Amino acid sequence: MHHELLTIGRFARLTRLSVKQLRHYDEIGLLAPVRVDPATGYRYYAADQARDALTIALLRDLDLPLAVIGETLASGAPDTRAKILRGERDRLAARITRDQGRLRMLSRVAEGLPSYEVTLEREHGRRLAVVRATCAAADVGKAVGECAVRLTGLLGASGVRWQGPLWGLYPLDLEERVSVAVGAEVAGVAGVDGGRPGDERLDSGGLDVEELAGGAVLSTVHSGAYGELPLAYHALFTAVHERGLTARGPVREAYLVGPGDDVAVEEYRTRLVVAVDEEEEEAVA
Amino acid sequence: MHHELLTIGRFARLTRLSVKQLRHYDEIGLLAPVRVDPATGYRYYAADQARDALTIALLRDLDLPLAVIGETLASGAPDTRAKILRGERDRLAARITRDQGRLRMLSRVAEGLPSYEVTLEREHGRRLAVVRATCAAADVGKAVGECAVRLTGLLGASGVRWQGPLWGLYPLDLEERVSVAVGAEVAGVAGVDGGRPGDERLDSGGLDVEELAGGAVLSTVHSGAYGELPLAYHALFTAVHERGLTARGPVREAYLVGPGDDVAVEEYRTRLVVAVDEEEEEAVA
DNA sequence: CTGGACTCTCCCCCGGTGGGAGAGTCCACG
DNA sequence: CGTGGACTCTCCCACCGGGGGAGAGTCCAG
């Protein structure tokens, strides 16, 4: 067993890692040399450590964090290892999905902004029958879709008539957890009229009533996939501040043309509406 | 023009940026408040700065570096801005491509490694007619493809016969710039026999001759896309070090089944070969 | 005038690596 | 047995885009 030990430089060349990297891996306990001269601090590696070093290099190429690489190396069981790697694979897949969304938006921004036309209008009050949900910020799309399905199902089952497009309601301040609502405009709901709006619950269960006050709003229409909605919101809120207004939540989205209409995503049309206060120059309450 | 100024906290809420971010953007000169109280250091923002702040937030969501965002904000010309954004779009697209490759490899690693069988063999010497190219490490695939086309074209035009699969030759030490070569085994080339190998140039131009010495080699066969070749190399070099051998460049790839064979990528088969020295335990020169 | 909310600066932290300073070590050759 | 050059050591700083927190100062409504 008198295998000759390698200095850090030779080991680095063998494994295509930099000396800096090897020292770092030693420091964090990922790959310690078999021997460290106590007098000089020189690190000496054994040839069979090249296996782990090459594995580290491979997994780093796949962009795995060093901590995760350490876990996979430490866990001898292949199924534990596979579980960790599957987790990282899913994480990477999620990042790719996010990046693809970003790419679409970036392309759209690069090729001349769609130049949203934001208009100041007077919106009349609406009474909505809504379904609510709370979800993480990343899952809003999914949650809204499910709410829409539940809403139309409940409305259909209870025989309530509604008019116009479906609406989505979103809080002005996005926290970690987002409370979203999907609603449909109803003229009057049995057992609800005259009650305190916002907390009423229809007989069919799961349906609330939300009263949207009328008044001045800024509004714009977005064409295309929902992933590019931030562009429209950017235009909308830019307009809010440029006109010296103040936004009042919740923000409303009217799904003029959407998934229920059986058209291509590019044909979707969504109207964004935000109520605004015309604050005069005087102090605000 | 007596628009009221906003404290950093109010401005942060308006723009959905954190106070920390706003201070950072001030520090790096990306978004300076219109007024900083010289006595207290308090930052005061104007309402119309929300436009830039929202743009910053939007572009940060798209993962643009702050420096790039600063450039786009500073450059008033729309075409300059579009050029910058197109550059970032391309950068993002390239990252997605890289990540997709990583995802494929990671999936493959997670679902049980293909467990490459690495064998120690004796390879006989070969004389190759080669075409060379130098390229960046990221463009190796493209360069090799072009070399292969040029090689077969030149060989066909000069009537030289070759046998067996095409070979790729790669340096053992990957630098920034990689010098690659693609070759085909020729029994004897007119005007070349007996000459000093390695520097001879065939009449047809662009063709060199490379003499591969025979001897002990480690070799394994990779099935699938070239993007997953690193897995095979990992197995190959792991075996080199585990058996106490030393690799001698250049590394050779034999394209047993490849793009020329008109089959699906999954059917590609590539044999990786690296010459090894059996170094005894004695000192090395 | 006071208390609570707000803001200031300054420092440390994350991940993974590169660069460099200054000092110490190793080894082959003379 | 020197010596010189290559190698290695430890420390510190930098990147990027922030987050967390300490300790001190400020603002404003009641």
What CATH number corresponds to the domain at position A231?
A: 3.20.80.10
Residues A129 and A57 reside in one and the same domain: no
**B244–A89 CB contact, under 8 Å:** no
Q: In B, which residues are within 8 Å of A78 by CB distance?
A: 112
Supply φ then ψ for residue A224, to 5 degrees.
120, -170
Distance A186 CA to D5 C1' (A): 88
In a shared domain, residues A48 and A144: no
pLDDT tens, residue by residue, B139-154: 888 999 999 999 999 8
Given B17, B40, B74, the domain boundary residue is B74
Whether B10 CB is under 7 Å from strand C: yes
Instruction: Indicate if A22 and A150 belong to the same structural domain.
Output: no
Instruction: From B241, B163, B4, B180, select the one nearest A4 (Cα to Cα).
Output: B241
Rounded Cα distance between A252 and A170, Å, is 6
pLDDT at A201: 52
Residues B67 and B123 in one domain: no
Indicate whether B66 belongs to any domain: yes
- Residue B22's domain is classified under what CATH number? 1.10.1660.10
**How many Å apart are CA B90 and CA B85, to the nearest integer?**
9
Please give chain B's pLDDT, 285 residues, in tens: 445 899 999 999 999 999 999 999 999 999 999 999 999 999 999 999 999 999 999 999 999 999 999 999 998 788 899 999 999 999 999 999 999 999 999 999 988 766 799 999 999 999 999 999 988 877 888 999 999 999 999 888 888 889 999 999 998 877 667 889 999 999 765 444 444 444 455 555 678 888 998 899 999 999 999 999 999 999 999 999 888 888 887 899 999 999 989 999 999 999 999 999 865 433 333
- Gap between the Cα atoms of B95 and B116, Å rounded: 29
Instruction: Judge: B241–A47 Cβ closer than 8 Å, yes or no.
Output: yes
- In a shared domain, residues B58 and B147: no
In a domain, B56, yes or no: yes
Strand D CB shell (< 7 Å): A 7-10, 12, 19, 23, 40-43, 283; B 18, 20-21, 24, 37, 39-40, 42, 60, 65-67
Kindly state whether residues B66 and B182 are assigned to the same domain: no
Q: What percent of chain B has pLDDT over 70?
A: 88
Find and list the nucleotides of strand D having atoms within 7 Å of a protein beta carbon: 7-10, 16-20, 25-27, 29
Domain that holds residue A271: 118-189+206-277
Judge if B155 and B257 occupy the same domain.
Answer: yes
What phi-psi label fits residue B191: left (phi over 0), alpha (psi between -120 and 50 degrees) or beta? left
Indicate whether A262 and A181 sit together in one domain: yes
Domain total in chain A: 2
Are A140 and A271 contained in the same domain?
Answer: yes
Per-residue pLDDT of chain A (285 residues; tens, 9 = 90+): 445 799 999 999 999 999 999 999 999 999 999 999 999 999 999 999 999 999 999 999 999 999 999 999 998 788 899 999 999 999 999 999 999 999 999 999 988 766 799 999 999 999 999 999 988 877 888 999 999 999 999 888 888 889 999 999 998 877 667 889 999 998 765 444 444 444 455 555 678 888 998 899 999 999 999 999 999 999 999 999 888 888 887 899 999 999 989 999 999 999 999 999 865 433 333
Q: Which residue from B minimizes the CA distance to A78?
A: B112
Same domain, A228 and A137: yes
Within 8 A of A106 by CB-CB distance, chain B residues are 62, 85, 88-89, 92
Pick the residue from chain B with its C-alpha nearest to A245. Answer: B47
- B47 in a domain, yes or no? yes
Is the residue at A197 inside a domain?
Answer: no
Rounded to the nearest 10 degrees, the angle between the axes of helix A19-27 and helix A8-15 is 110
Query: Which of B54, B241, B244 comes nearest A238 by C-beta?
Result: B54
Residue where a domain terminates, one of B41, B57, B74: B74
Q: What is the pLDDT of residue B198?
A: 46
A40 touches strand C (CB under 7 A): yes
Q: Are residues A272 and A167 both part of a single domain?
A: yes
Mutate to test the interface with B, among A103, A104, A118, A284 (most CBs of B within 10 A): A103
Asked if residues B12 and B51 have their Cβ atoms less than 8 Å apart, the reply is no
Check whether residue B126 and residue B56 sit in a common domain: no
Sheet holding B246-257, edge to edge: B119-123, B215-223, B269-277, B246-257, B163-170, B177-185, B126-136, B208-212
A1 inside domain: no
